[in-house]
Amino acid sequence: MAEHLDYIQNAINRMANNSFLIKGWAITFISLLFILSVKESNIWYLILTFLPLFCFWGLDAYYLRQEKLFRKLYDLVRKGKVKEPFTMNTKPLRKYVPSWFVTLFNSTIVGLYFTIILLNLILILLLSWGII
């Protein structure tokens, strides 16, 4: 059982690492587009940022949900409630973990993406009014 728990813990760690990397890429890429739009005084670069922003947000929610599924599996294996040895199947656990759409608005990720959206909207207004 300990080896099975190690496998699941490794999957949890990978999901958490993927989520962390996605946040880093999102901030880096969106910041680059922010800088480019201000430098070029082009509002279309700011409008363009919404597409990758929503993609990063969706991926982040996906990995957070996967992490929660594996945490649920870990808990069930730890309690001895999983009969199949070394299973990594989280499909039966989907009813116990919030959906991907609900996970989009989880407090651990929504703050970051709403902040970026707010900054984007402020920059759009400032550029359209000619302030910057």
Residue 85 has pLDDT above 90, yes or no: no
Residue 108 has pLDDT above 80, yes or no: yes
Q: Express each pLDDT in 33-71 by its tens digit.
A: 999 988 888 888 889 999 999 999 999 999 999 999 999
> Element (H or E) spanning 87, and its range?
none
**Selection from 101, 117, 108 nearest residue 53 by Cα:** 117
Question: Going by C-beta distance under 8 Å and a sequence separation of 6 or more, which residues neighbour residue 124?
Answer: 43, 46, 47
Structure token digits, residue 35:
């800088």
The total number of structural domains in the chain stands at 1
Structural domain boundaries, residue 95: 2-128
